[in-house]
Every structure is written in C-alpha cells, then in structure tokens.
Amino acid sequence: MSQAISVRNFTALFTGYVIVSLAVYFTASFTIPAWLIYFFFLVLFYLICILYLFNFNLKHYQESLRYRRLSLFLSLVFQLLIILASPISCYGWNQGKACYSFIQTHSTTDNLATFQTTPLPWWIVDSMLFPALILHATSVAIFLKMIRIEKPQ
C-alpha cells in the first residue's frame, strides 16, 4: 500500500498523469490510424476515469486514500506495451498497406518494406496494440476501484 494522500491531490495527480500520458501517446505515434484509435478509445476512457474521480472527490473531499502499487505497476507496463506497439509509420495506409509499429521502426530499418528475413515475428508486435489497450484500460479501472479511503482521525 502507498502512503496516505488526500483525495484532492490524488485527483490532481491522476489528471496530470492522463494529460502527460495522452501527450506521449499522440507524440509517439504521429499517424492518423493511431490518433483515431487513441481519440475514440483512450480519450473517452480517460474522460470517464476523470469524471469518476471528480465524483469520488466530491463524496470524500476531506479524507485521505491509499492505493495498491502492484496495480499501478501493471498499468504502467501495459502503457509501455501500447507505446511500443503503436503504429508510427503508416505511409500508404489509405491504399491498404500495413503500418509499422514503434518498436519495428526503431529496432531495425532493414527490409521493413518487404518483411523478408526480419529478425522477429512482427505480426505479434502488430497485433499487440489492441490487447495492450484493453489490458491497460482494465488495469487502470482496477487501480481506481482498489482505492481505499482512510477516515480522518
């Protein structure tokens, strides 16, 4: 468990985390498909989480809370997976060509256009984005539901 923190400060820190997280997502994958995925999935999910925390803040304004660090660690791991699997190079996407992920474009540039003799099975990386998004959203929701309130003494 973490140290006790006021509900107001936790809400402010979580809102800051959301803003920085979205800025990193949008910056790491500067492509139309990624922005569509992030805008219609992550922005809406984070908005629901922030509204939940504001409602929580209104109910427990004078109290402190504690959270479990394991669920926070899991959500950060899944967030890193999202960044690594995010589409970053989508030249020709409108014509039906595949996008390349962040890790694909930064680990090797050899044979990216043809996928011949690539060092890793890249289809695993390409298909990792949606499961990582769902796992990240689930871990953030579990993190928010596992918050424990401490009554003022």
One digit per residue, the tens of pLDDT, for the chain of length 153 reads 778 888 999 999 999 999 999 999 888 877 777 888 888 999 999 999 999 999 999 998 888 999 888 888 999 999 998 888 887 776 665 666 667 777 777 676 554 555 444 445 555 666 777 888 899 999 999 999 999 988 766
Helix (H) or strand (E) holding 150: strand 148-150
Which residues, 6 or more positions from 112, have their beta carbon under 8 angstroms from its beta carbon?
89, 100, 104, 105
> Helix, strand, coil proportions of the chain in percent (round to 5)?
65, 10, 25
DSSP 94: G
Residue 20's pLDDT is 94
Identify the DSSP state of 97. Answer: P
Residue 71 in contact with residue 146, Cβ under 8 Å? yes
Q: Residue 111: what pLDDT?
A: 47
What pLDDT does 118 receive? 47
Give the model's pLDDT for residue 16.
95
Contact, 82 vs 136, CB < 8 A? yes
Every domain of the chain and the residues it spans: 5-150
SS3 state of residue 6:
strand
pTM of the model: 0.80
